[in-house]
Amino acid sequence: MKLAIVGATGMVGTKMLQVIKERKLPYSELYLVASKKSAGKEVEFNGGKYTVLSIEEALEKKIDIALFSAGGETSKMWAPKFASQGTVVIDNSSAWRMDLDKKLIVPEVNGHLIDKNDLIIANPNCSTIQLVVVLNELQKVNPIQRVVVSTYQSITGTGVKAVEQMENERNGISSEMIYPYPIDKNLIPHIDTFLENGYTKEEQKIIDESKKILNLPDLAITSTAVRVPVMGGHSESVNIEFENEIDLIAFIQVLKNADGVKFFDNLDNLEYPMPILSEDNDYVWIGRIRKDNSHPKAINLWIVSDNLRKGAATNAVQIAEIVKSLKQL
């Protein structure tokens, strides 16, 4: 299998390489692809040295699977070119997520929808992934009527320059401002650009993508997305209203048995999910689950996951594993 990572030198691309090594995704040839500025550089990986290619050079290699993490504009321009020659593109940007002809996949939720003829498969937004893994499990037990989610999103979701901004602020160093305000010792209720309806694009992504992945087009869901000065992962406070009276014990048992989930909720021992626990692992951590004392058919819970791993790199590699199996590469 010829495998390419497009955007290999970025935070997600680097994490993809780590996950590929950990999960032992087999390949016969590996191509690392980045911008023209990075082309020609050498990258050491898994005991070998790789020269970074430009995307034009990579297109000539007749690749089997390409993991894209190079932004929406790059994906819009280049994914169809790769797909036209039979490459399966698994794209981490928002470029194809809401395209009616493209599948938006979280393997634990709807991986069964992938077909060997799919050529462009969209990887969802990081905040959406950890949310729908949980919603999908609970939907099996009791139909969901409404979801209210507030996110507390790591600066790593913005990229390496955001990490540098926070670190420089903590060290009293003036530097480039990636956010419109200081992020250290602060919270910014603003992720991506604002839309005419007052929501940000990030908030709208969570709403629209969740409906598509869960195949619940009429789901009542609303969101508020906040950037916080932490590194380990994204956190979400979620209120879920159901069609029927709730059985909290049944919910807990379902979540404990769910693929990819780490149920971590023991208040006597002060055990609950935190970004510091999720960092560099692939679990969707769940805790603080409790009945909503203001509504007989609702619960509150807290979800945490590493946005660079399950929220991006790992989810993409899991999709690649399915594609590899279907196409017998």
Which whole-number Å values give the CA distances from 297 to 90, 135, 241, 252, 286, in the listed order? 38, 15, 6, 15, 19
Of 227, 249, 251, nearest in space to 240 by CA: 251
Candidate list 112, 126, 190, 295, residue with the active-site label:
126
Per-residue CA distances from 24 to 1, 13, 213, 261, 320 (Å)? 13, 16, 27, 21, 12
CA–CA gap between residue 324 and residue 319 (Å, rounded)? 9
How far is Cα of residue 94 from the mean position of the Cα atoms in its chain?
11
Tell me if residue 126 is catalytic: yes
Query: Tokens 């913005």, residue?
Result: 158
The answer to whether residues 243 and 220 touch, using CB atoms and an 8 Å cutoff, is: no
Helical H segments across 232-329, by residue range: 248-256, 275-278, 314-327
Task: Give the three-state DSSP class for 298.
Answer: strand
Q: Of these residues, 112, 190, 234, 295, which one is catalytic?
A: 234
Residue numbers annotated as active site: 126, 234
